[in-house]
Structure 1
Amino acid sequence: MHEEDMPVNAALKSYLETRRSIPAFQMSEPGPSRGEIEEMLTLASRVPDHGKLAPWRFIVYAGDVRERMSLELAGMAMARKPDMADDMIAVEKSRLTRAPVVIAVVSRAAPHVKIPEWEQVMSAGAVCLNLVMAANALGYASNWLTEWFAFDEDAYGVLGIADGEKVAGFMHIGTPKMHPGERPRPALADIVTFAGE
């Protein structure tokens, strides 16, 4: 099909031209309902997945559990750095409470007789981006974060991450308090190579 024959989805094109992440601390209530969360997760799951392994899963942190887990994570951080400044203690205590809902995308990538582990990891990354876009499609702001506890296996017990799993990202979802400005984007000439030219 020639480019001139292909219909353009103007709304989707406009979204992709202007998509921006909202910082988690600039989100507020209302957050998505359980039904909306389930819809987002259904949409997020529609990604390339060689072998149909679904090498990822979701953990939803909503309601009061976010504060309890944030305080547990803060306790771990303060135990490791007893001289932590008060402003950083406040940050640690709010890790999962900045947005109304936080959803962990957990990678279950593992050696497989046919499917390369790297492809499984990339599938989890695709889920993360799909979840960001699904939240936006339902009218919510979203931000894909990792932060220290995404890489700290001692924190996994607090977060519900099992042995052998890794965190692909924490998706913070809520209502934006402000509209973000644009940020610099790379020039195509710096990131694109046309083979043979």
Structure 2
Amino acid sequence: MKTDFSLRDYLSTRRSIPAFQLGEPGPSRAEVEEMLTLASRVPDHGKLAPWRFIVYRGAVREELGERLLALALAAKPDLSDEMIKVERTRFTRAPTVVAVISRAAPHVKIPEWEQVMSAGAVCLNLLMAANALGYSANWLSEWVAFDPAALELLGVKSEEKVAGFIHIGTAQVPPFERPRPELAEIVTWVGDDEVGTA
């Protein structure tokens, strides 16, 4: 059965734009809220909503950059000028950055792994929601997603994990295709009912 061709076309050409190639204009608060509403429509066994969002916008992104740079320099005082710039601008590469936070935890019925995958589905949905509203986006993690001091600074609780930082803005360059895996390398057919047919 054939499905919506516009959705098929989108999925066949979907491409992330690197965060450093995103810029203004960024989404309005209302647009971000719409994106988050759309992103939340994911498989969620048990209706736990084992994820939440932190939205970073405006001048706070520059403040975070300076504080994250201080953490990076404390760990590695001999950072190159180029890396100092990278750390300082980590949250200003795009007009809006959304942290998708996994709240997966042991549950009497719902495997924790299923909760983690639900947070991953939210990240991909958020990329697609940004595209649906005319913006480009990039899903990143980087060291700040795993460093306890950085996580505290970013408002992530000790029992939580970052599923991804979604950078959202307007592409400053055209998208380009990258190599994709060949199906023959990633698919195993079991019980193919077309085997041996003419």
- Using the size of structure 1 for normalisation, the TM-score is 0.96
Structure-to-structure mapping, 1:75-114, within 5 angstroms: 75-114=70-109
Q: How many residues align?
A: 192
The residue aligned with 2:114 is: 119
Q: Distance in 2 between matches of 1:151 and 1:191?
A: 29
CA shift for structure 1 position 196: 3.5
The residue aligned with 1:129 is: 124
* Cα deviation 1:104-149 (Å, max 9, x = unaligned): 0000000000000000000000000000000000000000000001
- Provide the secondary structure at the position in 1 that maps to 2:121: helix
Structure-to-structure mapping, 1:131-146, within 5 angstroms: 131-146=126-141
The counterpart of 1:19, out of the listed 5, 14, 17, is: 14
Structure 1 gap segments, 5+ residues each: none
The residue aligned with 1:190 is: 185
Q: Distance in 1 between matches of 2:183 and 2:145?
A: 31
> Contact 2:99 / 2:164 at 8 angstroms: preserved in 1?
yes
Identity between Structure 1 and Structure 2 (%): 69
Structure 2 gap segments, 5+ residues each: 193-198
- Provide the secondary structure at the position in 2 that maps to 1:114: coil
> Contact 2:152 / 2:158 at 8 angstroms: preserved in 1?
no
Q: Which amino acid aligns with 1:149?
A: V
The residue aligned with 1:160 is: 155
- Provide the secondary structure at the position in 2 that maps to 1:168: strand
* Cα deviation 1:78-111 (Å, max 9, x = unaligned): 1110011110000000000000000000000000
Q: Distance in 1 between matches of 2:129 and 2:190?
A: 34
Q: Distance in 1 between matches of 2:39 and 2:175?
A: 23
RMSD: 0.8
CA shift for structure 1 position 195: 1.2
CA shift for structure 1 position 180: 1.6
Runs of 4+ in 1 over 2 A off after TM superposition: none
Q: Quick check: 104-113 or 155-164, which moved more?
A: 155-164
Q: Which amino acid aligns with 2:27?
A: P
* Cα deviation 1:49-71 (Å, max 9, x = unaligned): 00000000000000000000111
The residue aligned with 1:37 is: 32
